[in-house]
Every structure is written in C-alpha cells, then in structure tokens.
Structure 1
Amino acid sequence: MTLDEKLDAMTLAEQVSLLSGASFWRTAAIDRLGIPAVKMTDGPNGARGEDFSGGVRSAAYPVAIALAATFDPDLVHEIGADLAREARSKGARILLGPTVNMHRNPLNGRNFECFSEDPVLASAMARAYVRGVQSQGVAATIKHFIGNECEHERRTTSSEINEKTLREIYFPPFEAAVKEAGVACVMTAYNALNGIHTSENPWLLDTVLRREWGFEGVVMSDWTATHSTAAALLAGLDLEMPGPGKFRGDMLVEAVENGDVPREAVRRAARRVLRLIERVGAKTTGDLETERAEDRPETRALIRRAGAEAAVLLKNDNNLLPLAGPTPRRIAVIGPNAARAVMFGGGSAQINAHYAISPLEGIRAAFPDATVDYALGCPGDRYLPLIDAPVDIAFFAGTDFGGPPVLTKTGARSEFRWFGPVAPEVDHRAFSARLSARYEAQETGWHEIGLMSAGTSRLAIDGEPILEAWESWTRGFSYFGHGCAERRGRVHLEAGKRYEISVDYACGDGITTTLKAVRFGLRAPSSLGSIEDAVALARKADAAVVVAGLNDDWETEAEDRESLNLPPAQNALIEAVAAANRSTIVVMQSGAPVTMPWAAKVPAILQLWYPGQECGNALADILTGKAEPGGRLPQSFPAEDEDYGALTRRPEAHGKVVYAEGTAIGYRGFAARGTRPQFPFGHGLGYARIEYVDARLVFGEEQLTVEVDLLNRSERKGSEVAQIYLISETGAPLRLVAFAKTVLAPMEKRSIRLAIPERRLCGWDPDKGRWAREPTPFTLAIGPSSADLRIRKTITEDRNSRLPDFG
C-alpha cells in the first residue's frame, strides 16, 4: 500500500494515534494495516536504549563540544555513522541528537551537549553528524528548536530573540541540517520564543521551517513539552512525546469532530509520521525488545582517536608536552578526576558505558617503566560518592509498602533512576520500594552520608534512622528539577564491621510521576584527600599530572551552574602542586569554560573535555606523543565570571530571557567589548611549529575562495586549523566565515583552499526581510584563532578585486 492508501484505510482515531507516542520511547503501531512502531533512543554521545539508567551497556563517545573542538567534519561524520550502528543495536531507528543550541550562556548546564558559540562551526558539525547517522538508515533528531540556551526555568521562560539574531546566530545549524543534510526529525524546545511556546509557534514551525527551508520530516515535542491540542497541531507539531499523549488521542479526535482542527491537518501530520516509518525501514517483524551490547574494537579505536583529536592544548611552555624526551622515572597523578573516568555530563546524555579507562589507568599503561604515584588531593564531587556495591531493591504496589513485593532486583551501585515506566510489574504512577545494601567499613572514623530523591525517601543504618527526605521533602534542582537537595549527615563507623544500610522510597503522591530516582552516598574520612600528601608526591616526581574539573553532577540537564569557578579546593590544589613541581601539567575536564586563576603559574594546560570511555587512553596518547592534541576551542574561555555580565543571570520563573546582546555572543562579544578572554575561540597548540606564509583571493561565480600557504617548520607531523574571519567597517562584530583542518608532514609547505559561500558574506536585513551583502570595503583576516590573525586581505570594489555578483 502507498502512504495515501494507508491513510485512506485508517479511521480518524487511527490517524490520530500516530501523532503521539505509544510509550516513552516508541511511536504507535497499527497492526491491522501492518504499520509498525518505531523506537527512539537518547542521546547525542551514545545510544542508551529504553532503560534510563543501568540498562544494556553502550559505547560512550566524546560529547558534542569535544566533537566540535576537532574542527573535523569528516571525523564527526564517522562518529555519527558509528552512533547509528549503536542505535540499531538497541532496536532503535531514531536517535535523539544532535543538540545544536548555541553557547550563549557559559553556565548552561547542557553546554557540553552543544557544539559551539559560532554558527559556522556549529552548522558544519550538525551537517556532518546528521549525514553520518542517517547514512546507516537511522533518523537523526536535531534539537532544541529554538532558543534553549539556558536550563534554569527552561519550561517556564520565553527566549526573546529578534529576527536578525535568530537568522544569523541561532537558526544556521538547524537550517544546515534541514537543507544540506536532510535531517529526518526536529525537536522543539521547552521554552517559548517571543512569548509563544515553540511547540505551537506557527511562524517558527510553518513559515520558517517548512515553507522557507522546505522541511518535510517530523516535528516532535521535547518530552512533556506539548501545551495544546489544536494550536500545536495547526502550527506544525506532528508528534507529541512521550506517550500516552496528554493533548492528542480523544482530545484531538473531539477537536476534529467539533471543527476546531481540519481533518486534513491530521492527515498531513500522520502522513509525515508514516513517511518517517518508511524512511527508517521499520517493519512489523522488527524486534524492539532485544537490546544488545556490542563492544566493537573499531568503535574503541574511533573513540580513542577522537578523544585525542578533540583535546585542546591551551598552554605548553618550553615544550613540556609531549613527555617524549627522557622518559620520566616517576610521575605523580593527582586530582579528583585522576582515578575516575569522567566521560560525559548529566541528564539525557548519560549511558551505561561498556567500560571506562581512567587517566590513572591510561598513564600507568603508557609508562610501564615509570613509577606512577596517585593522590586524590581534594574531592571534586557535588554529591557524596555512590557506593559501588550490589544494592537490592524490592518494589511494592502502592506507596505504603503493603503486601509482598511485586518485583525484586539488584543494582550495581546505590542509585536508581526511572524515566517513565519502571518495569511491567510496577505501576510507576504509585509505588514504593525498599533498598538494602551491606557496607563493610574500611576505616574507623566519622563518615559523611547523603540521601537524595525524586519522590520521598528515608535512610537507616542497622535500623536506626539517620536521614529523611520524607516529611521535609521539597523540590530542588536535582534530577531534572524533580528531586530534592541532598540531605547529609555524619555517622561513626568501625573498620572491618559490616553495616546494613536501608532506604525506603515512595513515589505517587503528586510530587513526581515522570522522573523517579533515589540515591545514597557515603564518604570515608580518607576520601577527602590531602593537598599536603599531593604536594609530597609532586616534589618527588619528574612530572606531575593534575586531572581536575567538573563532572556529571556539576554539568547536567535542567540545571545551570552557579559560577565559572572550579569546585572548592581545586584551585588551591593546582597552585600547590605547581609550586612543588616545575613540570606540572593540568588536565582540565569540563564541558564548558572554567576560570583558571593559576594559568600563569602552570607550564602546560590541556583541555580534555568529556572524551568518552577511552578517556585515560586518549590522554596517555597525548602525553606520550603517540597522538597530537588536535583540538581548538569551539568556545571562548573567559578570565573571570564578570566577563559575561547579564548573559549568565538566572531568569525568574515565567520570566523573559532577553537576548539583548544580539549577535555579539562568544568571541564576537569579546571583540565588541574590546576585551580579551583568557583563551580565545579557535585557540589550540599542537606539537608542530606551523607558519602562515601567504594568502590569495580567488573570485568565482558562486563563492569566494581563499588560498592559504602553510609551512611546517618542525621535525614532526602536525595539524593546523586555518580560520578566516570577516572584519566589517560597519561596526558589526568580526565573524568566522571559513575554516579548514589539515595535516602537514615535517618541513612540508602546503596550500589549502577555503571556500566562502556568498551567504557568509551577508547579514540579515530586518527592514527588507532578506539577506544583504556586506558593504565594501571589508577585511578577511586569516590565522590560527580569533585573537591571532596573521594575514589580512581587504576587499574593495575597484576593478582589480571586485566581488562577483552572486545574484
């Protein structure tokens, strides 16, 4: 049957059933017509499957900001294709990524999940990612359309953005994904745009997305972000997620029968969903239940290579890196992220990784002949560490623990999270659970203990009540804003003695039904670390590697950071180690800028981001020189919190987020203000010494091309990212118009060509409602970063260098 024949054969109710999810991760099936369900999966840096936590293991890839730092669309395409294979291993044909919101607010909790502060770079990454995913028959979903640049109060605020700013900054990656990559799905944002929810904004979804850009795919809501029946459908929202839908089903059937929604509007949306089902090759015989863990060697190698390509060498005094001269006999590995692999940020991006290589493990494997010492130095956690030991959980019907358990299972550690359904045996709308774990204390002393939950909870040790988030439960920022603040206490434990830790948990009293979660943590006295011990190790070492930064507690969906500063004590630790060892290398892990007040005192700084499961191996490759740190900053790193001013101010509930800076975000903002960040956009050092020799302009019929001559003056192979910026004489901020990454052999001279399409030489004219050419004269500045522009070419309208008429 053709699509139209299928639609003709459907009842109105059947057509409507296609327009909302059948469950949290699946579309509806119509068995009598052979129409299958399609399964979706988060997320942008791995395919998780349907279980929100602790499910089938998956590959953990570098996060989006790390991918953008590679400045390598070919590599991102390769990763997208591999991600698609991961999605298929989970029975899914729709991947809910990539996230292409812009780095406007550096405190955005989801900054790590987005590509860049620059629309040209973000567009190139989006285009490559989508093409890679969809080359394997999996639909990509570009999100969140539009204006989701902060997480705080994202469901209640309106992003106030004028059309020029939208067209020049925030639309381009979405437009590129639609026009140039043929993206299959677009997900709307939680926030409103200029006072109208994005899921029911007709100008956004119909005028721009469908009519101007020609999008023919499916527009879906973010989870629980549909706000109406008729308005949303008529504006262009095809699919309400998750299911069962709140505003579709009988309500939409009734709206059609009452004449509020034309039947043809339902048919058009249902046709788009059917076309998506057909496009991804879904079949009624498809197995949506089986999820496989495929730990492929080629995926391991790809993630390891990408982790090194993404790492940005911010500073390297006296060529301290790589450690390839006299092999260090003793290395001190120090810091809160040293003995753990911090792979990704929190929220929808989290997966259950196949494995995790910590920096300490990677360094020990790479330097087998060296003595590698370790010291924590100071903790870096926001919440108390989970207990990595079996935890039994028994589920009960209702919230009062009545009757026998309806299900029992065992988790690998002391946290459980459920997004939507819990298990077939458990009614997720109202249930209780009892957690129990046996903990053997390793030392005698006062231990910190913590409890946190989305839903109510209370904790006891050996039957004695210790903590409660039951009567005192109030909503905080944890668990997407559904959970309470962590409750903390102190208990005295004796080494060698076993303790029974039990937690009662209940959900269903109206506090939360979409997201349910409970966790408890414990920190022994020695787990606080000691700066003095770290310094003692550093003094004895030939080199000290301090691995510091953030983690998925600090950077997470639904919550923004409060400051650009590192967690307490980390700055003091870095300064103390650097004072004790002149060969100190700071490895920073974060998915967003952090301030580095100690930067001048440290000879080498490497921004590692969140590089996925091969974290420690990728770092070791860089330290040994086996791989070059190939990344460049896709976001400016400021020297102080104050550099951003109002951009980082938290909005009030139901308030407006006014994009008053217009197009002057990121490096454009620094240039407009006449200030310099600590590390500028595009900055990154390699291990080779590459010079910019000359540049030439070549005028074609449809684009301007710049030929750049590069020379590698070193005895080792190295990469360079040539960047071209347009500097206007109208007072507009400078902007990136082209970039290209290339690798040069030792002593090689090479010419590379960078094409600048006409559109990048234009700005949006709000009065005329169209793109207008940048007035001449203007300058094209070429160099290795936005703050290091070494060659300048001015374009005028004289006869010898006249811009072609692109029409």
Structure 2
Amino acid sequence: MTATRTLDDLLDAMTLEEQVSLLSGEDFWSLPAIERLGIGKLRVSDGPNGARGGGGLLGGVKATAFPVGISLGASWNVDLLYEVGAALAEDTKSKNAHMLLAPTVNIQRSVTNGRNFECYSEDPMLTAELAVGYIKGLQENGISATIKHFAGNESEVERTTMSSVIDERSLREVYLIPFEWAVKKAGTKGVMTAYNKVNGTYASEHNWLITDVLRCEWGFEGLVMSDWFGSHSTAPTVNAGLDLEMPGPTRDRGEKLIVAVEEGEVSRDTIRARVRAILSIMEWTGALDDQRAFEERAEDRPEHRALIRRAGAEGTVLLKNNGALPIAPGKRIAVIGPNAKVAQIMGGGSSQLNPHYRVSPWQGLVDALGEESLTYAPGCSNSRFQPLLETELKVEFFANRELSGPVEYSETLEAAETFWLGSVAGGKVAANHFAARLTGTFVPEHSGTHLAGIASAGLARVYVNGKLIADAWTNWTKGRTFFEEGCDEVVGEVLLEAGQPAEITIEFATKDHSVLGVSAFRMGIGLPLGDAQIAQAAEVAASADVALVFIGRNGEWDTEGSDLPDIALPGRQNDLVNAVARANPNVVVVLQTGGPVEMPWINEVAGVIQAWYPGQEAGNAIADVLLGKAEPGGRLPQTFPVRWSDNPAFSQDPIVYPGLDGRVEYREGVFTGHRHYDRHGIKPLFPFGFGLSYTEFSYGSVSVNTERFESEGIVTVGLDVTNTGVRKGSTVLQLYVGAENAPVARPKAELKAFCKVMLEPGACRRIQLDLDARAFSYFDVERHAWIVAPGTYRWTLATDAVSIIEAASISRSTRLELQP
C-alpha cells in the first residue's frame, strides 16, 4: 500500500456494500477484490502439515507433505518447529496464498480423537511453546498463521453442533494456553474459531471468547475467521467479534448483513472494526496490493526434503529396545505388515494434500540396503474401508438427481474417490444438485469372493458386471465419513475370476446437506486376507535375522470428522505380531498411528518404535532410525495408556465422552493427560515425555536459584548434561511443578519448562530452565486473576513424567496476583 493511502483512507472511501463484501469469502479460498479501490484478493490455504492451495482434498497441484502435528510434537524441539514454519511459508507462497490455516493446537483430551494426529500434545505448555515456534517461522517469512480451533474442539463427534462444557478455570489453565501464548509470545495474525459450541454458545459467536478474552485481555489485533461453514448467524457473529465468514459465497452475511446494519442490529462502527482487522492483515501480508495473476506452483525443494527427513527421525520415539536396534550391517531382514509397502505420510481430512511423492518403509530400506537383503509379506490388512479402486473412470454429469436427460459434462478420474466442492463439472451443474455415473474396470489378481464397498456424502450405489452389489442409495443413513456428512461404508460380495476384467459402474446423486457443502464418495474392492497370509508372514520372519513388522493405522482411521471406536489395532494386526514373534524372537514393531494404541504383545517383541505420520520422506526417516543413521529423537507428547479405559476422557457416563444430547462435559477439569494418571495412580504403558536413545546421558548436580521467588515468583534450575555413550544423541529435560496444600485442587505435577539437548559423544553442556510466576499459579475465577498462593511448591526435574533426576520443595509466604 502506498504511503499516502492509509487504512482509514480506504475505510472512508468504501461503501457499506464494499465493506460488507470483505466480511465473507468470495469462494472457497479467497476474499473478493475491490477493483474500484485497487484492493487485491486475500487468499488462504489449508495446513498445517502442508500448503495444499486452492485444489480439493484430492488431486490438485502437488504440495510438500511435512510431518503431522503429533510427530512434530514428539520432537519437543521449538527450533525445529520454527524451521518447519519457515519452510511452510515458502510453500504457501508457491500456492499464491497469504495465510496458512495452521497450526492446530487443540489439546489431546481423548486418545480416540480422530484429529489427535493433527495436534501437538496432551499438555498445554508443550503445545503452546511448539506453536510459538511454528508461528514465528511462518510469520517472520511473510505468511500469516491462523491458529485453530478456538476453542474446545477436542473431539470429532457431532463437532459442528456439540457443546463443549468446560469450566472457566480449566479453559484458562489448559485449553486456552496455546492460544494465549500464540497471541502474547508469537503475535499470531489469525485465529480460526471452532465448529462447536462452548458452554452453549457457538464459538463463532462467542463474545466472551473472541472479544473479552482474545481481544481485550490478550490484546489480539488480527483477523478472526470462522471454520468452513462454521458461522451460523449474521448479527451475533459480527457483534461477537468474528471478522470473516468462510467460505464463500456467503450464507450469513452479504445482503443479510446490510439489512442488519440498516435495522440497527449491527452498528457501522462494528462493521468498520471488522473490516479494519481484515485490511490490516491484507496490508501486512501484501495482499492489499497484490495484483498478480493467480498461479499455483508445485515446488519440490531439496532443502524441504532434507528437513522433512530430519524432522521425521527427530519425532520418532524409541519405546522399547532389547538390543535389536539399530540394526547391524549384513542382517537378513524380513519386512512385514500392511504399512510396509504403503507410505502412511499423513492423516485424513482438511489437512491432506497431493504430495510430490511418498516414500514407503520398504522403499526406504531398499534404497539403503538393496532389495537382495530383504524379504516381504503383507500378513494382514489394516484398512477401515475396502481397498480403493484405482483405475481410469469415465465420469458423466447430469443436471438433476435422477441421472436422466443429456450428459452435461464428462471427465475422468484416476481412482474411485473424490470430493466435489465449489465448482462441479466446470460449472455445468449446480454443486448441490447433480448426479454422476462413473464407469471403469477392475481386474482381480486372484479368484475368490471379493468385497466391494461404497461410502458417500450423497446417494450412491455400485454395480459389478451389471449386478447391484453395494447400495448406499435406497436406505442411506448418516454415518462417520466425509466430515460426518457421509454414510458408513456399505459392503457387498461378488465372486470374481483372476485376470477377468469386471465392469464397475458407480452411480451418485447429491442430497441435502446437514452443515457442510460436501458431495463425495469412495469406492473400494478387494479380496480379504486371512490365516494363510499371516502364516506366510511367520515363515518369512523365521528365515530372517530380524523381522520388522510395520503396523498401525492410516488416514482412513486417523481423520477429521470421525473419532476412533477404541485404541486397539484394527484388523488382525495383533495376531500378526504374535505369529511373527513366535517365529522369530528378534522382532521390531514399527507403529504408524496418530496416537496411542494398546500393545498386548509388548512383552513378546524385542523393539518398538512409534513413527507417527512423518510426511513424504516417511520411509527414509524410518529407515534412518532403524539402521542407526539417525537418532530416534522423539519423546511422547501424549501418554500411552495400557488400555483405552485408563484415559481421562473415558467414562461410563456418555456425557463425559463422546457426548449426550448435544453436550460433552469436561468433568476431569484440569486433570488432563499425565495429570490424570498421577491423580488416580494409574500406571501407563509409556508415560508422557518417554523415549529411549541410542546413547546414554549423565546428569550433574542440580543448582536452584530462588532469590526472586518470594518477590517475583521466579526460579531458575540449572545442571550439566553429558553424553556418556559412543553415539551422538539427544535427551529432553522436563521441569514439572506441583503445589502442596493448595487452596484449590491442583495436579501433582504440571510441565512448566523443557529443553531438548543434542550432544556429541563425550560432550557436556550446561542447561538452564527458567520458571516465572505463571508456572506456579492457578486461575482464580472469582478474582479473575492468576494466583501464586503462599505455601510449598515441589519442582521435579525429569526425563519423562515418572523418571526423576532430582526434586525438591520451595516455599513462599506471600500471595502474588497476576492479571490475565
């Protein structure tokens, strides 16, 4: 913007209609330009593990797939998060966007949350500090962050209507901390409101959250936008402080908002304030004067490849190692399991993208060792749905829901899965009122009874060789697919002969939507695996020196829009591990999941690593750790319970989880994550912060400076850390604080500071961890302040939530009160 044209000048020059036009999207990813005043388009792109750009959830311009949130959370490395944010800024620019819809910082309240993979941690402090690094990386490189989802979106069950019932103290001490840190420490330019209600009011029209807390208390001066279709009103959202309704075309604003202004429901000053927030972000990002022709580029940068590979290894957690890892040279290796030859690089939902490439664990090992030292067996499946039909499909569109009349448009798909969003069929049909017929072929590799399945947001049915096999049309029922707009998969059987092409016909028609404007389907067909395949895997394992079993979940399970039924491994994967372990005692399990899983076989295997979904370099990063080329640098950002029922959100009362009659009550209060296990004396399978190394460390005597504790609430803890092993490696120092005899119920230990230390063999470093007054405080709702009460506080220096290096108590005699 020129020096002579201020934001006030623009606001004064704009008509009410022009001002209102900027308060909602023009389309799915951008705001309208105002050519009369030379105002360009503000464009946004989905994140947080990549910048997808303006394409749909499938296909589109290729983008860089970085590790998902929980993988980055497992790194415990703020500097790494900065690097990833900076790289994502470059990728966002390649998609001609100005804001990235990221990071996701909701707390991992439940181990079954479908979006658990997208979030950093169960702990508010770890989440907050990592988010600060990520946001600074983005914004110091010219791209605005949009931290999300504000607030209380810790489940995908009925998420667009559910009311999260959370007391204010728990909100302040747990769920709002990452957002507060993002504003106060990182200066985030954008905030996205959640779909859900918070204590009965939609987050998008929550005056207390948006105006009282975010803007007035924390001093936020940026842009507040709705999640997509997450706005439900006109005047209430605008008056509460929601600047931008997304996506467009508008449903709640536009002419409705103009009428609300004319009728006095919304003041012109309020409109001006909302528009100013948007213009200020456009000025900061350069969108205000961005008149470039829209172009999206696929930039596959070598430095991004290297960063992803390093970040993937740094987030990989070594959970168990009885000497099996790293794998010594010259070993014969059996590569087994459903995730061995499939690159599980990301979760499902709005964060998914079309990656430049995918490296599977098999390919990573082949590249490192050569195929001659490897053998392979799939063993079993872990799919939620039938194997995706990947073949060329001709698609014919009709401008009605009856598949009648002329074909309005034709195109082809490479696989039987698509989202139709925004413009459909080149605009030849209405996006909410059309039908499509898809035709192609499937050539079975083996003879037998195949299963064909279809899931759809809309009506759908599948014919094989002219016979109706799977019907999700006649009695369509809403289920847990496609952001809760789709039905569960409907499956039918068909007998097919190996090598004989089968004709596949899929018919689809739109139906009225509940909340989101999604039309989509996914069709799969395959021959189920059984006992023979598990037996074959055991035979392959028996002939090898070491057996690597690649199991877990995938983006069908770990996905936005659907929580998990439990945390047992899907399918027959436990049977597979047991069979392989009986055949070969030197078994290493490589888990890829978006969160904890139960491990009934843990005592039967020699090693376990948790590799999450580490982005497009997945196989290379995993191979680097297995072969000792990289340190398993991860520490658990979420407690792994022995069983699902140990988790803090588990309850016999459904109102606690998954919710009842539109309400989900956070009755555990501030006792989330590791605090819950401490409170109830529940021994986890692996504690929060846990992770093994390929090297060893010693810790020197601890020094504590409490000179300013009484006056200012400040404490400093220092110690020497030495790598006493023969390999370069890392450790994470974690400082916990607990209040003894507190005036309110408080956790025994809360993470308040941490530091990741990477050292060469024999190297020593002095580490200092600082605690301020907030580290010792609780939120007093009646006094509306953070309180450091007189009394005794116990600090614990540890390498995980239960492995203590040193602990001691300190006391203060006076009360300290801090403003929020």
Shift of 1:287: 4.2
- The total of aligned residue pairs comes to 801
**Distance in 2 between the 1:757 and 1:738 partners?**
10
In 2, the alpha carbon distance for the partners of 1:779 and 1:297 equals 47
Out of 692, 703, 712, the residue aligned to residue 723 of structure 2 is 712
- The answer to whether the 8 A contact 1:16-1:253 is kept is yes
Name the residue aligned to 1:372: 374
Which of these residues, 408, 414, 421, is aligned with residue 423 of structure 2? 421
1:722-771 per-position Cα deviation (integer Å, ceiling 9, x unaligned): 11111321262110111001112212232211122221121112232111
Query: Which residue does 1:656 correspond to in 2?
Result: 663
User: For the Cα contact (< 8 Å) 2:395–2:412, is it kept in 1?
Assistant: yes
Query: What CA distance in whole angstroms lies between the structure 2 residues aligned with 1:369 and 1:520?
Result: 33
Q: How far apart are residue 526 of structure 1 and its match?
A: 5.7
* TM-score between the two structures when normalised by the length of structure 1: 0.96
* Bigger Cα displacement from structure 2, 783-792 vs 430-439: 430-439
Name the amino acid aligned to 2:487: C
Structure 1 CA distance for aligned equivalents of residues 73 and 764 of structure 2: 26
**Matching residue's letter, 2:689:** G
Residue 48 of structure 1 is matched in structure 2 by: 52
Report matched runs for 1:53-452 at 5 Å: 53-283=58-288, 286-287=291-292, 289-317=294-322, 319-324=323-328, 326-328=329-331, 330-368=332-370, 370-422=372-424, 423-452=426-455
Q: Give the Cα–Cα distance (whole angstroms) in 2 for the partners of residues 788 and 525 of structure 1.
A: 44
Q: Relative to structure 2, which stretch is displaced further, 515-524 or 500-509?
A: 500-509
Name structure 1 gaps, 5 residues minimum.
none
| Cα distance in 2 between the residues matched to 1:256 and 1:658 | 37
Residue 793 in structure 1 maps to residue 795 in structure 2: no
| C-alpha separation in 2, matches of 1:283 and 1:797 | 53
1:573: how far off? 0.9
| Separation (CA, whole Å) in 1 of partners of 2:513 and 2:718 | 63
The SS at the match of 1:332 is strand
More divergent stretch after superposition (707-716 vs 263-272): 707-716
Give how far 1:194 is off.
1.2
Deviates most, 425-434 or 14-23: 425-434
Q: 1:761 aligns with which of 770, 776, 797?
A: 776
- Does 2:526 correspond to 1:523? yes
How many angstroms apart in 1 are the aligned matches of 2:704 and 2:803? 20
Match of 1:536 in 2: 539
Deviations 1:126-158 (A, max 9, x none): 101111111221111001111111110112221
1:729 to 735, 740, 764: 740
Match of 1:684 among 679, 691, 696: 691
**Secondary structure, aligned partner of 1:792:** strand
* Equivalent residue letter for 1:371: S
Deviations 1:468-522 (A, max 9, x none): 2222212111111111121111212222222221111111556787011122111
What do the CA deviations read for 1:661-709 (whole angstroms, capped 9, x no partner)? Answer: 1110110000011111110000001101112222111246564221122
2:215 aligns to what SS in structure 1?
Answer: helix
Partner of 1:26: 30
Distance 2:461 2:371 in 1: 50
Quote the offset at 1:439 in angstroms.
2.1
**1:694 partner SS:** coil
> What is the match of residue 749 of structure 1?
764
Maintained 8 Å contact 2:785/2:817: no
Whether 2:560 is the aligned partner of 1:560: answer: no
SS of equivalent to 2:107 = coil
AA partner of residue 664 (structure 2): V
Aligned equivalents of 1:536, 1:222: Cα separation in 2:
51
| 1:83-119 alpha-carbon deviations (Å, 9 max, x no partner) | 1111111111111111100011111110001111111
After superposition, the C-alpha distances for 1:244-291 in whole angstroms (9 at most, x for unaligned) are 221111111111111111111001101111111111101555446422
Specify the alignment match of 2:578 in structure 1: 575
1:7 to 11, 17, 23: 11
Any idea what the Cα deviations from partners look like across 1:172-215, whole Å, max 9, x if unmatched? 10011111111111111111111111111111111100000000
Deviation at 1:569, TM superposition (A): 1.1
Match for 1:624: what amino acid? L
Can you list the C-alpha shifts for 1:22-43, whole angstroms capped at 9, x where unaligned?
1111112211111111111112
Percent identity, aligned pairs only, is 46
| CA 1:646–1:616: 2 relative to 1, 3 Å | closer
Q: Which residue of 1 aligns with 2:639?
A: 636
3-state DSSP of counterpart to 1:434: strand
Residue 221 to residue 311, structure 1, CA distance change in 2 (3 Å): same
Question: Secondary structure of 1:504's match?
Answer: strand
Please name the residue that 1:780 is paired with.
Answer: 795
What letter is aligned with 2:671? A
User: Which secondary structure does the structure 2 equivalent of 1:490 belong to?
Assistant: strand
How far apart are 1:327 and its partner, in Å? Answer: 2.4
Per-residue displacement from partner, 1:397-450 (whole Å, max 9, x unpaired)? 222334443332222222111233334334212111121222222222221111
The one-letter amino acid paired with 1:776 is: G
Query: Would you say the 8 A contact 1:700–1:804 is kept in 2?
Result: no
Residues 529 and 513 (structure 1 numbering): CA distance in 2 closer, same or farther, change over 3 Å?
A: farther
The CA distance in 2 between the partners of 1:682 and 1:168, in whole Å, is 20
Say if 1:116 and 1:213 are closer, same or farther in 2 by CA, change over 3 A: same
Contact 1:39–1:288 (Cα < 8 Å) also in 2: no
Give the drift of 1:77: 0.6
RMSD of aligned residue pairs (Cα, Å): 2.0
Q: Give the 3-state SS of the residue equivalent to 2:727 in structure 1.
A: coil
Q: Which runs of 5+ in 2 are unaligned?
A: none
In the aligned structure 2, how far is the partner of 1:509 from the partner of 1:118?
A: 40
Per-residue deviation at 1:540?
Answer: 0.5
Instruction: Report SS of the residue matched to 2:216.
Output: helix
Tell me how far apart the structure 2 counterparts of residues 134 and 410 of structure 1 sit (CA, whole Å). Answer: 39
Change (3 A) 1:653 1:504: farther
Separation in 1 of the partners of 2:148 and 2:324? 41
Name the CA distance, whole Å, in 2 between partners of 1:549 and 1:717: 29
**C-alpha separation in 2, matches of 1:498 and 1:532:** 30
Q: Hey, what's the Cα distance between the residues in 2 that align with 1:9 and 1:687? A: 64
CA distance in 2 between partners of 1:732 and 1:647 (Å) = 20
Letter in 1 for 2:199: N
Q: Write the letter of the residue equivalent to 1:27.
A: L
**Distance across 2 between alignment mates of 1:483 and 1:804:** 53
Residue 56 of structure 1: how far off its partner (Å): 1.0
Code of the residue aligned with 2:673 in structure 1: it is: G
In the alignment, the residues of structure 1 paired with residue 623 and residue 647 of structure 2 have an alpha-carbon distance, to the nearest angstrom, of: 34
SS of 1:50's partner is coil
Q: C-alpha displacement at 1:791, in angstroms?
A: 0.7
Paired with 2:640 and 2:293, the residues of 1 have a C-alpha distance of: 43
**Which amino acid letter does the alignment assign opposite residue 709 of structure 1?**
D
Instruction: Give the distance between the partners of 1:511 and 1:99, measured in 2 at CA.
Output: 24
Secondary structure class of the residue paired with 1:293: coil
Distance 1:400 1:91 in 2: 39
Which SS does the other structure have where 2:258 is aligned? helix
For normalisation by structure 2, the TM-score amounts to: 0.95
3-state secondary structure, aligned to 2:137: helix
Which amino acid is 1:436 matched to? T
